[in-house]
Structures are given as structure tokens and as C-alpha cells.
Amino acid sequence: ITSPVAFDILPLKLHPFSQSTPTGLDCVGCRRRISAPVITDGGLDKTALTDDVGSEEDLYEDFRSSNHRYGHAGGGGEQLAINELISDGSVVYAEALWDHVTMDDQELGFKAGDVIEVMDATNKEWWWGRILDSEGWFPASFVRLRVNQDEPMEDYPLKVEGGKEDDSRRFGMGQTTKDQMRTNVINEIISTERDYIKHLKDICEGYIKQCRKRADMFTEEQLRTIFGNIEDIYRCQKKFVKALEKKFNKDHPHLSEVGSCFLEYQTEFQIYSEYCNNHPNACLELSRLTKVNKYVYFFEACRLLQKMIDISLDGFLLTPVQKICKYPLQLAELLKYTNPQHRDFKDVEAALNAMKNVARLINERKRRLENIDKIAQWQSSIEDWEGEDVLVRSSELIYSGELAKISHPQAKSQQRMFFLFDHQLVCCKKDLLRRDILYYKSRINMDDMEILDVEDGKDKDFNISVKNAFKLHCRDTEEVHLFCAKKPEQKQRWLKAFENERRQVQLDQETGFSITEVQKKQAMLNASKQHHAGKPKAVTRPYYDFLMRQKHPTLPSTLPQQQVFMLAEPKRKPSNFWQNISRLTPFRK
């Protein structure tokens, strides 16, 4: 959802509707048109279609009471229910999560937030839909089903000339109707939480408990890799559901005040960060184990004993990642149908922002973990490296650039390349002939340093005239390092970078961010293998490749992958630091 976040996470289907090549897709991956249902201008005779199966409302209630009520559109059971609704003559609406820009006249273009009428969902990956007078194919992974299918389309803001919304209809919805919509969303939140708790219980008791009995097959380290901290998540969610139940008004659900529950547990929800960051490792470990038949049979036996639905273990383990992405969507839907005068309005509004922040924090931590591979590869490209690895203390490149370093006692000036990481400043020297090769020279512990701005003119400590200079002063040893930039703006950028470095260190301490020893060793091992193989130091994406091999939607190339992988807004502005590194020290010699 926002990576999908916004976590950097691709929206995935847990269980495909069919094992065969999807209808509408050629084996080479090209789309071909499927015959879509034709609805005449006069519409369908809905009464004739619903006599045998009950009313539209009854059928929709059956659909809403399925196990994956709030899941991403397109799951196996949900897809079947969607098709039943459509074939019954009911109108099914979906809301766009992202823009779909296309030049293909057979595809339906739309913007995030647009409401699409789903006319054919027989294909898992591409659905046929309509917006006003336009019809065409669109990717199912770009939308989610509306919680309130019975909400009239005219209650959605209409677009008029100039791109502004027509408020005349937006506020035309009666109070009773809005209360009913809020009731639907509240019931959705409560029911999906109950389902989610059962899901977590099945994983913990159906898989983890059985795996621990087989010490001959699994080590504790393997189980930690596969399941992460899902048991901690289970305990947290049980408490959260109890809090929700207390706030749930069974007689009048629209009066329920659930916003405070999300605010109370926003800090606890940060444990999802560890799980999301570990999930790529879990997928890789599962992929390795399931190459051996005994593990395949064992996992299937666990599922059958627990009487779980027909989804593979990697599908079950994906749901916590998806769940934390859905909270902002559910709260946004709840806020939409909560009147400003409602006692829950301010709490829901604050809860929406809080859960967006949680998703944003998870996204940021995921980005940091992806950076450690780049840092390890950068270090492997540096000649004559000495001392501990950068990753022992650092996980983020803050800034880099060229400075003149002036040393005691001769006050000799030397041009050096400096790389500012959290906790340390690494100094390198360029090769005299091959300027793209760097040699390690030294490093400075930033935790012991204070930054001093130096005015242009004669410096008393070094007894020389300086320009665009600053100092690093060690509080413990009184050691002083003098640096000069070529231009005033370069000096200001360095001073700002030092402030950012201290801010990053403080934030990591407050949020408890850290990299495990296993992750550090794996990153350095990967970089070492590439170095010895003589390959260019390009960043690999094993997790992404693993996901692409699963039975998940094929996304059009028109959508940037970084947009798909985001967990939450706002989108992070791309950094140019790594471009500087690749320009100065390419990952090959």
C-alpha cells in the first residue's frame, strides 16, 4: 500500500485464484483482451438476478464477512466474491491507490483517489473498469475495494472545470447515511482485527510451536530469521484488540470512539519495523529450505493440523507487513465519515497522522537497512583499508566532498576526500594517476568532537592565514583538526552536514534503531564476494527478485518501482550522496 509504504512494500496477493497462466496474459507476458461483460444502457434487471440468491445487500454482507474483508483487491476468495457480485448485477467500486498513466487506448488511466467501477475481475492481475464514459484495463494492484460499496457515487466529490471539487454534492449526504457509513467502517476495523488475531495465533501455534519441537530440522537462529518478532506482534495485537473492544459500541457502532486506541498503541506498533526489515531475510531462508522436500511436507502438515486456509507459509508471513500498511487507509476512511462534532473526530484525526508516522518510520528504517549494502560495497572499493569496518558503528552516509586538511606541527595542507557517516568521518586520498581510486588514510570519531566555525584570516592555533575554514575539536584530548573548503557555500554545506549527523545519532538513540551483527556480517560478506569475483560493485536486489518470482501481479513498466515500494507519504526526495560516491569512487577498478 504505500510501499504501499507508503515500506517500501509491494502490494501482493496472498493466494492466486488459479495456478495456470492468468486469463488475459499471453505466456510471453503480453496482455490480450478478454471479452468483458456488456451492460446495456437500460441496465440489468437486478430483481430477476437476485431472486435465487437473496438481495444485493445479503450478497454483499456475505462478501464482507469473508476472511479477507479489508485485504488488497484480488485475493482468491475476495476475487470470487467480486465476480459473484458483478455477475449478480451489483455495482462494485474500487478506489485508486496510485496514478495509472498509460498511452494504450485499451487501458484505463486514472489518478490516485479516483473511483472506478469494476466490470470484470476474472483476471487476477488486470481488471476491466469504467470511469464516466471511459472503459479499459487497469492493474488490480493499483486499487482497493471501497469499504462502503453501498455509498452512492454522487456522494463522492465531482470534478468540475479548473480541477476543483464540486462541494454542492459532497455535503448533500444526510446525517443518517453518514452514520451508517461510519458504522460500516467501524465494523470493518473490528472484524479485520479479530481475523488478524486468529491469523497470528495460527502462525504462532500452528508453525512456530511445531518447528520448536523439531530441533533436528530448525535451529533457534533459523526460526528467528523465518518468523522474526511475530510472537511479540501477536502479544501486542491481543492487547490492542481488547482496547478496541472496550471502545466498541455494539448497539450504536457509529458512536464508538476508537481513535484513542490507535494513539495509545502508536509506540508499540513500531515493533513492526523489526518485522518488516527482517521479512526479506525470512523469504530468502524459506526459499532455501523449501528446495528440500521434507521441509515442504513439514510446513504443509503444520498448516493442515492447524486447519488453516490454503496459503503457503511465505504468504502467511506477509500479512503483518500488509497490516501495518492498512491502518492509515482504514483511519482515513473512518475520518471521512466522522463529523467534526463527533467526540471521536480529533482522536481519529490524530490517530491517522500517528499511523502515517509509524509507517514513515518503518519506511525510513527499511531504507537505512538497504543502505548498509551500499556502504559495504563502498568500503570494499577503498584500497589499504585499516581498522574496523564502517558498519561496526555507522549505517548512514550523511555527506561527502573534498577538503584541505591542515595538520600540526608544520601546518602542512593536504587535499583529501572526506566521507561523513553517523559517528565517524573517514578520510581518503586520491590516487595520483587514477583519480577514481581512493586509499584509506584515517578516520575521526565524531562522538568526541565539537565543530568550531573559523573566521577568515590568521588562525592562532596553526599560525597561518585561512579562508572558508572550520575546526573539529576533541573535548577529551584537546586535539584540533583544521579544514578548509574551496568556496564559502561548500563550508556552509559541511557545517550543516555536521548538524545533521548529530541529529541523526540522537534520532537513532530515541527510536532505538540498530543493525544486527548478522546483517552487518552478511553485507560485508556480499561485498567481499563481489570484490573477489571482479564484478562491478552494483547493488543487488535478491529480495525484489524473490518477490517477482512469486505468483503476484505483474506491474506495468510505466510505474516507477520506488513508488510501489513506498509505505507512506510523503515521498522522500532522492539523495545525491551516492551519486557523488559513484562519480568519485566507482564500484570497480
CB of 505 closer than 8 Å to CB of 424? no
CB of 187 closer than 8 Å to CB of 253? yes
Answer whether residue 1 shows pLDDT above 70.
no
Pairing of strands 464-466, 457-459: antiparallel
In this prediction, residue 112 carries a pLDDT of 74
Answer whether residue 151 shows pLDDT above 60.
no
CATH of domain 396-512: 2.30.29.30
Residue 23's nearest CA partner among 11, 36, 38 is 36
Phi, psi of 380, rounded to the nearest 5 degrees: -65, -20
Residues with Cβ within 8 Å of 22's Cβ and at least 6 positions away in sequence, in order, are 123, 124, 125, 126
Residue 187 CA to residue 199 CA, distance in Å, equals 18
Residue 332 CA to residue 329 CA, distance in Å, equals 5
Peptide bond into 570 cis (omega under 30): yes
Class of the CATH-defined domain 76-145 = mainly beta
| Residue 141, C-alpha cell as written in the block | 494492484
| Residue 373, C-alpha cell as written in the block | 549494502
Look at 574 and 502; give whichever has higher pLDDT.
502
User: Any idea what DSSP says for residue 203?
Assistant: I
pLDDT for 404-413, tens place per residue?
998 776 767 8
The domains of the chain are located at 76-145, 179-371, 396-512
Q: Is 214 helix (H, G, I), strand (E, B) or coil?
A: coil
Answer whether residue 256 shows pLDDT above 70.
yes
Angle at 144 between CA 139 and CA 148, to 5 degrees: 145
Residue 453's beta-bridge partner residues? 470
* Burial class of residue 185 (count of CB atoms within 10 Å of its CB; 0-12, 13-18, 19+): buried
- Confidence category of residue 228, pLDDT binned at 50, 70, 90: very high
DSSP symbols for 414-473: EEEEEEEETTEEEEEEE-SS-TT-EEEEEEEEGGGEEEEEE-SEEETTTTEEESSEEEEE
Residue 107 CA to residue 424 CA, distance in Å, equals 51
In this prediction, residue 578 carries a pLDDT of 52
| Residue 227, C-alpha cell as written in the block | 518468523
In this prediction, residue 41 carries a pLDDT of 34
CATH of domain 179-371: 1.20.900.10
Answer whether residue 233 shows pLDDT above 60.
yes
**Other CB atoms within 10 A of residue 437 CB:** 17
User: Any idea what DSSP says for residue 588?
Assistant: -
